[in-house]
Chains A and B, each alone.
Chain A
Amino acid sequence: MRNSPNRIVAVIFGAVYLLVGLLGFAVTGGVGFVATEGGLVLGLFEVNPLANVVHLLIGAAFLIGGIVSAAAAKAVNGTVGATYLLLGIVGFFIADTAANILALNTADHFLHLASAILLLGVALGTERSGRVATA
């Protein structure tokens, strides 16, 4: 585990996402499932119940990937990182449409972008083919 950057990152991200998902339910009592106005986790990051469920699912995927193997962790890190980045790029071109779900001025988008770059960096830049850690 300690020799695999992908497993370390997946387990840390998994724990954080699960925690954020659980904390989210504590601040979204009475909030509609897909309401545009939600509660604030840690006073910074706005969430609604849908976001909490997504956080829990992503957290579980990270944690399972990180526990199972380096290859699984690498796959989860790369998939989630690429999805975040692609959603960001597509979001620029749908900014003035009803499909826009971006809020680029907020703390959570800073975190999403940093997460995407870190996840993609770890998945692509470490443990390249044939050198995935098995320990």
Chain B
Amino acid sequence: MQALVVATRSWPMLAAFGAGLVLMALAAGAGGAAQPALIVLGIAALGWGVLALRAGRVLVPSVVLVATAVTLVGMAAAVATGASVATDIPPGPLAAASVFIVVMALSAGLELRGRTRRARRDEPLPAGRGASAPRPAGRGASEASVSRPARREASVAARLIGLASGAALVAALATPALAATEAGEQAVPHGMHQLDPIEQPGGHGH
């Protein structure tokens, strides 16, 4: 269980990278007021991902929770009202971006719940209730029996496996989403460069 927690700890940040990339790609093809909004959201997601990775934890979870909720509601409203079609935002990449945003929102929610639980646990007990009861042996006691280098190597392996699998999952969802954006459709796939006939200047017999 602990290994799973270590392995997936970076996934919200990797999801933020995925969200940022897809939102930026959508911004490149969007029109009207949607373009600056998507650019701001994309930069915010990428910036948060970098800062949270550096910090090793979910940063400003309250802000993330509110921002992701507002973004998801805005996306749903844009699809429901037809505004996304009017501003040239394809639904597929929007859905992929919303999956990444949901992962960010979940991580923020879990972080806030964990903080609340820790705060409750650390509250001083009322006088006479359990004041002298011995605290149960924590993780530290059981982990002390495992050698430190072995624990460290296991942690490194778990983190690397988590990062590699998280990166593959993000790429697996982001790549088709990017390809479905206007920018992706205009990109020329390898091996297809010669298929489009190039119009020669003066080729119309003038």
Contact = CB atoms under 8 A, between A and B. Distances in A.
Contact of B164 (A89, A92, A113, A118): A118
Contact of A106 (B13, B166, B189, B194): B189
Interface string A82-100: 0001001101110110001
Contact of A102 (B13, B163, B187, B194): B187
B175 interface: yes
A8 interface: yes
A117 interface: yes
A99 B91 CA distance: 27
A95 to B, nearest CB: 4
Given A95-B184, A114-B171, A120 B53 contact: yes
Contacts of A100: 186-188
Interface in B115-139: none
A118 B191 CA distance: 27
A103 interface: yes
A124 B191 contact: no
Contacts of B168: 114
B183 interface: yes
A95 B28 contact: yes
Given A36-B194, A88-B21, A96 B184 contact: no
A91 B163 CA distance: 25
Contacts of A103: 187-190, 192
A70 B172 CA distance: 29
A88 B174 CA distance: 12
Contacts of B156: 2-5, 8, 126
A32 interface: no
B54 interface: yes
Contacts of A89: 21, 24
Q: Which 9 A-B pairs have the closest CB atoms?
A: A114-B171, A118-B167, A124-B53, A92-B183, A36-B193, A117-B167, A95-B186, A46-B190, A92-B28
